Amino acid sequence: MNSFEKIYRDNYKSTLRVAIKIIGNRSIAADIVQEVFIVLYKKLKNREEINNYKAWLYRLTYNKSVDYFRMTKNDNYTEYNENDPEYTDQDSYDTETINRLREALTKMKPKDKLLMILYSEGLSYREISEVTNIKYNSVGKTISRTIEKLEQELKLQYHDLY
Amino acid sequence: MTCINRETIQRYIDNEVKNSEKYIIEAHINICNRCASEVKRADTLKNSINNALNNNLNKDIEIPDFKIPETEVKRTAFILKKVLYAAAVIMVITSLSVVVLVNNNNANVVIPETNTIQNIEYDANKSIFDTEITVIVTDNEGNSTAYSIE
């Protein structure tokens, strides 16, 4: 199982980051990531073939997170809590914009939000295509449209505020 | 060149355009203020999204030791137990077979040989009907007994 150990060490942090971004709670995200790696462990033990570990781990993390939300009957998906130390800003970046963006992200459809999360992880269009099954040639267009939706949501929030 | 569409701007700021396309875009941005500000706006938004999602996330992330699931441990123990039982059964069967074989071999050895006819003395000049034949039989213990055959 040496290869499993290597995959685990190489991918744990990024998988946990994605899970936290989806769930919004580190402890629950860690449990989900643990489950994901258990599935991987069993698959490798049974000599099942996985072509792209990173894409596979992100996909399963997303599916398990959606299962978690269904189980807890929480349709809001990520609830970014401003007081959560996970999301407390320590730098002087435009805090208001960031908070409004987080709020807008919570209102997105899960698949749109996953796209934004993968995008924020710095994945290439090729990698995003492998995780989401969006055609490689359409990734740019899909990201552009998703960001446009996000902007629309920000505008709505702005109108609500002012 | 006509203005750059949103998708192309997106691909440009994400470094997902070919070099040839990149040169055309940059040449256009240099002469079109509208597209230049669109690129700047898209880039700022990208950074804001990254900041909104990534802030502080890398803090204190440590890789815990992976715990092999309990069911897997139990399953392994169960399989190991089975293998041990199988090995024990095979050993018993093998031992029994060896004992039977040895006993069979010993049985062959133990069976006493029938007494052997050691010597037959007869006179070749006489007719067979007139010849008195003496047979000397030696048993396993070396005792010889002479028998006369008329």
Q: What is the pLDDT of residue B115?
A: 55
Q: Is residue B25 part of a domain?
A: yes
Residues B39 and B77 in one domain: no
Q: Is residue B60 part of a domain?
A: no
Residues B107 and B73 in one domain: yes
Q: Which domains does chain A have, with CATH numbers?
A: 2-161 (1.20.140.160)
Of B16, B49, B68, the CB nearest to A125: B16
Is B50 part of the contact surface with chain A (CB cutoff 8 Å)?
yes
pLDDT digits (tens, 9 = 90+) for B31-70: 999 999 999 999 999 999 998 898 767 667 888 888 877 7
Q: Is residue B61 part of a domain?
A: no
Residue A147 tokens read as 């960001």
Q: Is residue B32 part of a domain?
A: yes
Mark yes or no for CB contact B55/A87 under 8 Å. yes
Reading across the β-sheet that carries B144-149, which strands appear in turn? Answer: B116-121, B133-138, B144-149
Q: Which domain holds residue B145?
A: 116-149
Could you tell me which of B60, B55, B58, B47 has the C-alpha nearest to residue A17? B58
Q: Burial level of B130, CB count in 10 A (0-12/13-18/19+)? A: exposed
Q: Is residue B62 part of a domain?
A: no
* Unique residue bearing structure tokens 């093998």: B94
Residues B10 and B40 in one domain: yes
Q: Which residues of A89-108 are buried (b: 16+ CB within 10 A; e: fewer)?
A: eeeeeeeeebbbbbbbbeeb
Q: Is residue B145 part of a domain?
A: yes
Please state the rounded mean pLDDT for residues B121-150: 72
Of B52, B56, B58, the CB nearest to A101: B52
pLDDT averaged over consecutive 10-residue blocks of chain A (162 residues)? 85 94 91 95 91 93 92 62 47 70 89 94 95 95 95 81 56
The answer to which of A137-141, B4-8, B105-109 has the lowest mean pLDDT is B105-109
Q: Is residue B59 part of a domain?
A: no
The residue of B43, B45, B66 whose CB has the most chain A CBs within 10 angstroms, and thus the best one to mutate to test that interface, is B66
Q: How many structural domains does chain B have?
A: 3
The residue of chain A nearest to residue B51, with distances taken between CA atoms, is A98
Please state the rounded mean pLDDT for residues B63-89: 79
pTM listed for this prediction: 0.67
Q: Is residue B20 part of a domain?
A: yes
User: In what helix (H) or strand (E) does residue B135 lie, and over which residues does it extend?
Assistant: strand B133-138
Mark yes or no for CB contact A45/B72 under 8 Å. yes
CA dihedral sign of residues A38, A43, A45, A50: negative
